[in-house]
Structure 1
Amino acid sequence: MPRPVRIAICQFASVPPSQESEGISSDETVTANFARLEPFVSSAASQGADLIVFPEYFLTGIIAEHLHLAYDEGHWVEVLQDLARKYAIDIVAGTIVEKSRQNDEHLFNTSVLIPHHGVSAGQLMCGPDVFRARYIDKHGEILGEYRKKNLWHPEKEYLRSSTEEHQIFQTDKFKAGLLICWDLAWPEAFRALMLQGVEVVIVPTCWVLDDVGELGLKHDPDGSAEVSWLDSMVINRAYENECCVIFVNCGGPKAKGFLGHSSVSMPFKGVVTRIEGPNEEMRVVDIDLDILQDARAVYKIREDYEAKIKLNQMK
């Protein structure tokens, strides 16, 4: 039986902090980005999308040199919950950098999925120094959250890696899991979700060419190899784990190192849709999750993997 889901991927180009941003309210940068975000949510909802996904660091851009832009926990989450309710659409709010509850120098980077029922942000469990993603449903409820485990190397200076286990959660349409950016390069993260029965893995990302530094750029100055690697990882993770992978990268000018290539991939279909360039764009696509049952019947990766685990446990 068909299981249709309509997904909007938004390759959002954040307004960067100004050079003088240390001397102004952090609200100015975040408010500017938030004002640009709502029209995408409205457009996706008007096209009948069940879910819209934004990239990592979507409200602030990369925050390494602008740590003052971090917010007290939950500051913008409630606003996103209101948006989800207003437009009756699920939102994966990329990631939000939040101040730790503890008085230390580390931050949270959070990705959230919010439903429309409305759970208070203050009710969330959180620990110090992490980066989180959240899933918010159309009722404003936070169905799931994930704190980044595999930090990109420079992030380790101001964020703390989560030690919590990967968890899936149930939405109205599917069993979901959240990962963030560099997690994509760790097959083990996907395996942990696969063993719990995940159907859709959502990966908000801020992956730019400058990440490879001088050593990488001397071999791949235009980023073509990096883009090929990104594309292949997304497709491979979908096939390896017999699931749908929603990969949403940040948008921006190619001249500034942005790569884009946000996509949705599934077994048997490969790339269902992909934003080929780096510029800001939203794409709405229909998928049928019934395909996943066929993939599992044919490839039996989950079945074989679980059998090997049971065999090892018996030794």
Structure 2
Amino acid sequence: MDRVRHLQAADAGCRIVVTPEMSVTGYNIGAAVAERAEPADGPIFQAVREIARDTGIAIVYGYAEMAPGKPYNSVQVVDSTGQSLANYRKTHLYGFDRDLFTPGEQWITQFELDGVTCGLLICYDIEFPENARAHADAGTQWLVVPTGLMEPWSFVATHIVPARAYESQLFLSYVNRTGVENGLEYCGLSCTIAPDTTELSRGGKAEQLLITHIDPAAVAVSRAINTHLSDRRRDLYQENQTR
């Protein structure tokens, strides 16, 4: 974890810092997952909680979790006092993820921060519209998505993510890795998108600190104008309907 970045965020008045997928262990690390994976309350958590306490801001970080005897691609949220608010295990595994991790079984993971209902997904999860929509139905106002998107799929960051924010009428922060890691070239392009598709922040391909303000009241305002959620024909959307 970059303590300097967190201090910069704290000085700017930030309440929470979001880091990319597996930010503290590395993502494209192959068999090293078995060596770096640790329990949710292990040494990584202890180190992150100290940074959170020192800087006075919450932290969202990605790591390889071992629990019990199974590795997961996970993200944990630690508040400014060093307490764990949530721990989410990636449910939709992409490519080589399937050879290294166990898919999580808890679909919706949420936490509260300053009166805002926040939800967690990881990378590939957001490419399935059902996931964002389920969060909207569960009351999520701000969907936080640490990711490790690589080239040539930058369109996910520029097209799919804004579409997810709009169709599910929530704020969406997509926080990507940058640079090259063991042959993978990451896209960067981290962003926060408002429910009306306003681009509140957008990064480039280099590492940077993006500072974004989210107004939870804007969710209700946008949903009153863009009525896709309430206009759904739920009577037609029966889960096991046959034709």
> By the TM > 0.5 criterion, same fold?
yes
Change (3 A) 1:58 1:67: same
Aligned to 1:243: 170
% identical aligned pairs: 24
Q: Distance in 1 between matches of 2:179 and 2:235?
A: 43
**What is the count of residue pairs matched by the alignment?**
236
Aligned to 2:66: 99
> Aligned match of 1:180 in 119, 122, 127?
122
Change (3 A) 1:149 1:260: same
Aligned to 1:214: none
Change (3 A) 1:90 1:250: same
Structure 1 or 2: larger helix share? Answer: 1
Aligned to 2:32: 66
Q: Does 1:111 align with 2:62?
A: no
Q: 1:81-133 CA deviation, whole Å, 9 max, x = no partner?
A: 1211211101111x11023323xxx4122101111xxxxxxxxxxxxxxxxxx
Paired AA for residue 11 in structure 2: S
Offset of residue 310 of structure 1: 9.5
Aligned to 1:196: 138
Return 5+ residue gaps in structure 2 as ranges: none
What are the residue-to-residue correspondences of 1:219-234 with 2, within 5 Å? 223=152, 226-234=153-161
Note the aligned Cα RMSD (angstroms).
2.3
Q: Does 1:57 align with 2:16?
A: no
Q: Does 1:152 align with 2:94?
A: yes
Change (3 A) 1:304 1:168: farther
Change (3 A) 1:78 1:310: farther
> Aligned match of 2:196 in 268, 281, 284?
268
**Larger CA deviation: 290-299 vs 255-264:** 255-264
**Larger CA deviation: 292-301 vs 254-263:** 254-263
Paired AA for residue 58 in structure 1: S
Aligned to 1:6: none
Q: Distance in 2 between matches of 1:51 and 1:44?
A: 8
What are the residue-to-residue correspondences of 1:166-177 with 2, within 5 Å? 166-177=108-119
What are the residue-to-residue correspondences of 1:13-32 with 2, within 5 Å? none
What TM-score, normalized to structure 1? Answer: 0.69
Q: Distance in 2 between matches of 1:292 and 1:164?
A: 25
TM superposition outliers: structure 1 runs of 4+ over 6 Å: none
Q: 1:130-158 CA deviation, whole Å, 9 max, x = no partner?
A: xxxxxxxx121211221110001211112
Q: 1:145-174 CA deviation, whole Å, 9 max, x = no partner?
A: 211100012111120111223132322230
Change (3 A) 1:311 1:190: closer
Q: 1:203-254 CA deviation, whole Å, 9 max, x = no partner?
A: 0001112xxxxxxxxxxxxx3xx22332111111111111000000001159
Q: Distance in 2 between matches of 1:258 and 1:163?
A: 27
Paired AA for residue 82 in structure 1: E
Return 5+ residue gaps in structure 1 as ranges: 1-33, 116-137, 210-222
Q: 1:155-208 CA deviation, whole Å, 9 max, x = no partner?
A: 111201112231323222300100000011111111111111110000000111
Change (3 A) 1:312 1:227: closer
Q: Distance in 1 between matches of 2:10 and 2:235?
A: 42
Change (3 A) 1:46 1:184: same
Contact 1:70/1:107 (<8 A) preserved: no
Paired AA for residue 25 in structure 2: T
Aligned to 2:234: 308
Change (3 A) 1:169 1:68: closer
> Aligned match of 2:49 in 81, 84, 87?
81
Q: Does 1:285 align with 2:212?
A: yes
Change (3 A) 1:280 1:311: closer
What TM-score, normalized to structure 2? Answer: 0.89
Which protein, 1 or 2, shows the higher relative CO under an 8 Å CA cutoff with sep ≥ 6? 1
Contact 1:253/1:279 (<8 A) preserved: no
Q: Distance in 2 between matches of 1:167 and 1:140?
A: 19
